Amino acid sequence: MKQVKKVFGLLTATALVAAMAGCGSANNNASGSSAGSASAPTPAAGSAAPAKEKLKKISIFQSKVEITDALEALAKKYTAETGNEVEVWGAAGDAYMTQLQAKLTANQGPTVFSVGTGAQADKLKSYLYDLGNEPFTKNIAPHMELKEDGKVVGVPYGVEGFGLVYNKDLVDPKNVTDLASFTKTMEKLKADGKNPLSLSQEAFFLIGHILNTPFALQPDPKAFIDKLNKGEVKMADTKEFQEFGKFMDVIKANSKNPMEVKYDSQMGDFATGKTAMVHQGNWSYSMLKDFGNMDAKIGMMPFPLAGNNKIAVGVASNWVINSKASPDEIKAGEAFLNWLFTSDTGKNAIVNDFKFIPAMTNIEATKLDPLSKAVYDATKSGQTIPWATAYYPSNIVVNDLAPVAQAYFLDKNMTGQQLLEKLDAAWAKAAK
């Protein structure tokens, strides 16, 4: 049995290597060949070309600590199936970007790595290899690819979405559709002794995500942010933001102070029924499941600002190839990504091991948790609003907006309108 597997693996490897060698030789496979011309290999099974030496060992560096285990296991499977080696590096959650920058500075950059959509990708533009010729990029769901200067440079990890995660026993989405019904529901829950809606002290969970809604509801969020950067518009003068201020006042008046809540306790309170709603994303399910199975009780609904009835869906991270790596490494990197997004093993890992909601048309989502399912369904039906956060100036949420939001939640007398004015001021400083 083992032997069969081995032989099979060897065959697959041979086929793949042969196929790639074929592509390579057509493009002058010398070390000097321009990196851009190497097109991706297609695993032409059964190709009879003679076996050549295996691909160069590549390194992967990526920011999502939670999938490291699964990625390491996948790398082993990749080696077993193709004979090529992959080394997975590691970094603790918020240390990723610093380490990446240091490794690039030392010319020790990884072959394949991850970048966040938006400011981070812009900053690293010169390191992003053009993936336009890769066949697997054709399978990326519409508008989900990472583009720089019109070229496809990154493949999404998957889509993620956020909105109001609610407890079905305590809240009926029909009663949370606009400011008036929202306020009523909040007050009723408070009277029942529940914490109606919980934010938490982490910058994105305090202000970053929830502030996305008024941006996303603008006719053209990107243009609006450009104007905001130039100082041509103000949040405090814009209708959707003004209503956002009122929502925040309702939240502050009825909920536990989010400054006293950590992500851990936010989800703990929600899981134990002390909190009725949290403004969170589908990723929070991984935390909820540690408290026992509550799939039947939870759902995700839109944050009903200005009657909004859509969940915010976007791409947080993308796979990219380091354009400054050696041509051999780039070729091996392409082979790996191609395998990840086209082989059954790779596709299966994305959905079942990484637990991503795939952003590829050739990958079916199965066995999704209830929160991810809500996001997936919304994506399929097009009932989504975008992540305007991607267009924000670099790190503005953590560095500039969070301190303002902290002040707002710690100062009982500060109103939502004042919050907007302070946010405007902080924005003006950061956009400089």
Which residues lie near other proteins (CB under 8 A)? 59, 61, 63, 65-66, 68-69, 87-95, 97-99, 101-108, 110, 123-124, 126-127, 202-205, 257, 259-260, 262-265, 268, 271-272, 287, 290-292, 324, 394-395, 398-399, 402-404, 406-407, 410, 430
CB closer to other proteins out of 105 and 413: 105
DSSP SS3 for 21: helix
Q: How far is the CB of 85 from other proteins (least distance, A)?
A: 12
Q: Which amino acid is at 91?
A: A
Q: How far is the CB of 59 from other proteins (least distance, A)?
A: 7
Q: How far is the CB of 126 from other proteins (least distance, A)?
A: 4
d(CA 231, CA 226): 9
d(CA 41, CA 19): 6
d(CA 172, CA 242): 26
Beta pairing class for 112-116 and 58-61: parallel
Task: Indicate if the alpha-carbon torsion angle 252, 255, 259, 263 is positive or negative.
Answer: negative
Torsion of CA 66, 67, 72, 78, to 10 degrees: 180
CB closer to other proteins out of 222 and 429: 429
- Both structure tokens of 5: 């597997």
CB closer to other proteins out of 108 and 381: 108
CB closer to other proteins out of 247 and 270: 270
Q: Which amino acid is at 197?
A: L
CB closer to other proteins out of 251 and 305: 251
CB closer to other proteins out of 19 and 316: 316
Q: How far is the CB of 312 from other proteins (least distance, A)?
A: 17
CB closer to other proteins out of 27 and 68: 68
Q: How far is the CB of 398 from other proteins (least distance, A)?
A: 7
DSSP SS3 for 88: strand
Q: Helices (H), strands (E): how many in the chain?
A: 17, 12
> How far is the CA of 361 from the CAs of 269, 379, 400, in angstroms?
37, 12, 38
Half-sphere exposure of 406 (CA within 13 A, CB side): 13
From the list 178, 113, 159, the residue with the least C-alpha distance to 371 is: 159
- Both structure tokens of 189: 């829950």
DSSP SS3 for 235: helix
If one counts every other C-beta atom within 10 angstroms of the C-beta of residue 105, the result is: 9
CB closer to other proteins out of 16 and 228: 228
Q: How far is the CB of 396 from other proteins (least distance, A)?
A: 9
Q: How far is the CB of 383 from other proteins (least distance, A)?
A: 26
Q: How far is the CB of 311 from other proteins (least distance, A)?
A: 19
